[in-house]
Structure formats: C-alpha cells, structure tokens
Chain A
Amino acid sequence: MAKVTLKGLSHSYLKTQSSDADWAIREVDIDWNDGGAYALLGPSGCGKTTLLNIISGLITPTKGDILFDDKIISGLSPVERNIAQIFQFPVIYDTMKVYDNLAFPLRNRKIPEEEIKVKVHEIAEMLELSSTLNNRASGLTADGKQKISLGRGLVRSDVNAIMFDEPLTVIDPHLKWILRSKLKELHQKINRTMIYVTHDQTEALTFADQVVVMHEGQIVQTGTPVDLFEKPKHTFVGYFIGSPGMNVLPCQIKGNDVIVNGKKVETHQQIKKNNFNKTEVGVRPEFISFSNEGIPVKVLSVSNTGRHKIVDTESESGKIKIIAKSNEDIPSGSAFLKFKKEYTYTYGDSWIIE
C-alpha cells in the first residue's frame, strides 16, 4: 500500500519530439493518497493507458519521476514496484488450473506452499471462485477469466497499488454491473490504492472517489465526480462528462460583461482579464430553464427519456440542449432561456476563467 505521486511526467513514443502532438503524455503531476480509489477517464488515445503502464513500470517515461511513498521508483522493474495490473482482455495461463493461476504470482516470489493455500482460498472466496478452483482456467467464461486476473492481483497482500486497464471491456453488460459493484466492495474491504482506467464515465464516476480526466496527453481536471459535474475546469470535461454534455457557446467579453448572442449573461465569476484568443460560455443542460426573457432560441425537438425531457433548441450562435422535468410544458417555436448563474462559467481558450 502506498501513496502514488507523479512529478512532471512526460512521455513520447518517438525518439525526437518537435510539437506537442508528438507527446503521448505531457507534464503530468498527480498526488494519489494511500488506499484511495482513483479513475483515469478519457477517450481512446488520450494517453491514459500509457500513463498506467508508466506507473506499473511497463513503460519508462521520457521525463519526470514516479514516487511511491515519496521514494523515487522510476528505475525499478514492475516486480520491484510490487504492483498488480488487470488488463482489458482477461490474461490467464491456459494450461493451469484456476488454483495454480491464483497461486502463480506467489510461487514466483517463493512463498511457502501452506501460506499460498490459505491466501488463494481466501481470495477465491472473496471472488466467488471457490467452486472452480480445480477446473482448467481456459474453460471459464470471460467474466470468470477476468475474475482470475483480478484475483492474481489481489492475492499478494503487500501490493502498492492495483491498476485496472478498462477491465470490463469484454464483459457482458449485465455482468459488468455485478463486477463493478464487486470491485467497489473489494476496495472497501481491502482498502488498497486502486487506479482504474476507462473511457466510460459511468464506470469512472461510480468506482472512484477521485476522477482524473485526461485529454490529448494532459490532465484537464482532477476532482470528485460532483466537482467534475458541477464545475468543469475545461470545456472538454464539460463535453465528456454528463449526458448530454455541457452546452458551450461562443461569447464576447466587454469590460466586465459576458455577452452571448448580444445579450448579457450572468456568470459564476467576475471577469478580470481578457487576453484570450477564444472565449466561451459553458452551462450544463440541467441548469437551463425556459423564461420570459434571456437568450432567444427556436425549439427544434423534444425527446422524453422517461425521467426527464431533453429539448433541442437553436440559438443564433449554436445549438443549446436543455434538460427539463418530464412533466414540464415545453414552449413550441420561439422561446427564451435563462442560465443558472452559479453554474454558468466562462472559458478562455477552453480553460475556465477564475
């Protein structure tokens, strides 16, 4: 168990780097507390798997340091780092029985057979694998195999961190939910640092206490699921989290006023500086309501999801989505929108202005 710290970490798969795009990871700083549950969230190709492999030691970063409990471990091999990793596809040793699969990491570390036996049975019990211990591992279903991969990580009681690389990709949807709750339950039981990589916001938000959102090799925001939802620090976080994502509209800043479609909009923060190439206003569909005055829009369509209605409207400077209560009356044709002040943010060059 350990605290994980990343300092000024950058990585490139190329030998020489000329532009930002050549870097898979750019200047990443992270502090993760011992025993926490963290998620790395981002679309495919954002660098999250690279970051994970750097932490586990499968990839050596181009620049920067990795610290476990404030000790630099950048040069150590995966074995020396003492971490566990669960991959996208279940990795099992086909020829071995389930029991031997679970015992494998312990045997490699020359632990006495009696101790292994106790440990394996304990983990098998936890993962509900006890009845299959004597079966050949290759005969199991995908979720059974993934449980074995997980078990091989959990069986070592001294691991510094357990890392998950999109572990539920190949699992059937109805089992996904079960395995996910299992993971959460395990985390509470064994209280070890867990790092979970995914592109699925539901997985990340339900699993983790702290979510790190990555975009093009950089961390755009770290925070609790509520933070990410209520105060996205980057327009990408706004888009990526939430369904539908945040509305982002171009705006002008004149003095202290924020102008959208010629109308002044009240935002969360006071604008002090204005030296950006691009300025935008962001507000989630949840925080917009119809009103008698405000931003003029045309209502395009309404879809009812059961729990609420999603309304598509078009304003002069782009489409705006609104989430309304399912019993709310939606005006047709022209309407006016009002943004909730405390959840409306201005962004300069995609980053929040504070």
Chain B
Amino acid sequence: MNKTVNQKAWFFVIPVFVLVAFNAIIPLMTVVNYAFQETFGNNVFMWEGTRWFKQIMLSERFHASLGRQFLFTFIILFIQIPLGIAIALTMPKEGIGVPVCLVLMSMPLLIPWNVVGAMWNIFALPDIGFLGHSLNALGFDYNFTQQIGDAWFTTILMDVWHWTSLVVLLSYAGLRSIQPAYYQAAEIDGASRWAIFTKIELPKMKKVLTIAILLRFMDSFMIYTEPFVLTGGGPGNATAFLSIDLVKMALGQFDLGPAAAMSLIYFFIVLLVCWVFYTLMMRNEEKS
C-alpha cells in the first residue's frame, strides 16, 4: 500500500508510546542501574562497572541454565512445529467439525499458566495421577519429582500439550488461505501428495510459520510459571530454565547486581536470536 508521509500520525501513536515506555523504559533503567552498581539498600549505590557481567558470563550456573534453556526450546520447537502442521493438515475444512476442533484445541491456550502447571502436576503424580499411574502400571519406573529424565519428559509433554495448538491454529489459517485452484492445478499436473505439501502448502504457510516459530521461540525462552509450579526447577536444578534461575537469584538470594546483569544478557539473547531469524526470513523473502 502506498503510504503518505504525515508527521501528525505521531499523535496517534503517542498513547501507545507513553503506555509502553512507562512500562518498558523506566523498569529497564532500574535494571541497568542495578547491573552496573552494588547496593546495600537505602539508595546507596557503588559503581561496579562490568563486574557483574563478567561474573555472570563466567559462571557455570549461568552456562548450565542457558544450556538447558536452549535444549528445551530446541526440543519443543522440533516437536511442536511439525506436529502442529500435521494436525492442521488433517483438520476438517468444513462442517461442524471446524468449530468443534477450533474450540477444543484452543482450550489449553486460555488456561492460566500456573493452573497448567498445577494440572500437570496432578496429572503426572506417580501414585494418583493418570499419566504417572498409567506409566507405572505399564512397567516404567516413572517419578517426575525424583528422576531427571522423567522431569524433562513431563515438562516437554506439558509444553507440547500447552502450545502445539497455537501452531495448529496459525498453520490452519495459512492453509485455509490457499486458493482451491492450486490444488486443482496440482492434481492436473499429476503432483504427488508430498509434492503438494512441499511445493504449495509449505511455501504458502511460510509467513504464518515464521510467526509461529518466532512466538514459540520467544515464549518458550521466557518460560517460567509452568515448570516452576510443576517441578519447581527440580529435581535439583535439572529443569531450572533461565527465568526460574533468574527469579531464584533476584528474589531468593537477593543478588540484585548479578541478577540485573543476567536479565540484560538474557534479554539481549532473545533480541539477538529474534533479529537474526527475522533478518534471515526477510532476506529470503526479498530473493524470491
């Protein structure tokens, strides 16, 4: 669309700007403040320079939680994106099945995150939870509060349960926007089902999939409440992802300086990954 240059448009943006700046800039300044200084309360600050940053960057604890975070995000993206596409492909395209599927599939998205954690806690309890009880009845030695593998399995399964529907909804919307003529032409050209998927459906879903991957990356990278309620980061620190570790450090141990430095590094990583991903996608777009 041809846009006209109009500086007065700024007036329209002011409310948004003020509201977001109010929430973003002032607290961010506080974080920056803490990150470079040492405080003993009473608003007494001592300049520390980059000491906290060095400390965090070199700390094994940070490396470990960052590693866990990337592993977790990678696994859930690897499961949720293909699974979401597969489900969207098999969903009904018309009739009563459409609203039924959409309503039921959206359910997990609208449950408060700590309820999700609590629900899965109850569901996975080895003695009285359906999942835990069934697994044990089948002969698996399953206990997510004790065994690291089980804790990871449960956390990932919970996240798949919670968020795959978002990928399904986005993919489904992308599929619905494909003109029927494309399928008809492919049928006449003798394309196989696989060719239809790779040559028509995937390219047409590219935009929605970019959004799905970005959203899932951002949200899984910030995950806090659900694993906190489910496992509390345990057993040990096995499921202490970045946010859990950060809150532990800031509120639990009140190490405000390192926590603030870690916040900034954390935020920076999210921005960097999103930016790289976004730029790559855009460059691809321009080529075509």
Contact = CB atoms under 8 A, between A and B. Distances in A.
Q: Find out whether A and B make contact in their complex, taking CB atoms under 8 A apart as touching.
A: yes
Interface stretch (A92-100, A121-129, A227-235): A92-100
B199 interface: yes
A91 B185 contact: yes
If over half of B's interface residues share one DSSP class (helix, strand or loop), that class is named, otherwise mixed; here it is helix
B288 A152 contact: no
Given A104-B189, A149-B185, 17 more contacts: A56-B188, A77-B187, A78-B188, A87-B185, A89-B179, A91-B179, A93-B199, A94-B203, A94-B288, A105-B190, A108-B190, A108-B192, A109-B190, A136-B287, A136-B288, A138-B288, A139-B288
A346 B91 CA distance: 56
> Looking at B182, B188, B204, B288, which has the most chain A CB atoms within 10 Å of its CB?
B188
Interface string B77-112: 000000000000000000000000000000000000
Contacts of B181: 87-89, 91
A103 B20 CA distance: 53
12 contacts: A58-B184, A77-B187, A78-B188, A79-B190, A83-B188, A85-B185, A88-B181, A93-B200, A95-B199, A105-B188, A108-B195, A139-B288
A322 interface: no
A95 B192 contact: no
Nearest to A155: B189
B5 to A, nearest CB: 28
Interface in A134-182: 136, 138-139, 149, 152
Range of interface residues on A (Cβ < 8 Å): 20 to 34
B180 to A, nearest CB: 9
A58 B182 CA distance: 12
B191 interface: yes
Contacts of A260: none
Contacts of B191: 104, 108
Nearest to B200: A93
Interface of B: 179, 181-182, 184-185, 187-192, 195, 199-200, 203-204, 287-288
Contacts of B204: 94
Nearest to B199: A93
Contact of B187 (A58, A94, A96): A58
Nearest to A104: B189
If over half of A's interface residues share one DSSP class (helix, strand or loop), that class is named, otherwise mixed; here it is mixed
B288 A78 contact: no
Interface of A: 53, 56, 58, 77-79, 83-85, 87-89, 91, 93-96, 104-105, 108-109, 136, 138-139, 149, 152
B203 A105 contact: no
A8 B185 CA distance: 27
Given A93-B200, A94-B203, A136-B287, A84 B179 contact: no
Contact of A108 (B179, B184, B189, B200): B189
A131 to B, nearest CB: 19
Contacts of B185: 85, 87, 91, 149, 152
Contacts of B203: 93-95
Contact of A85 (B179, B184, B287): B184
Nearest to A163: B188
A109 B287 CA distance: 30
B28 to A, nearest CB: 41
A105 B199 contact: no
B188 A84 contact: yes
A85 B199 CA distance: 18
Nearest to B191: A108
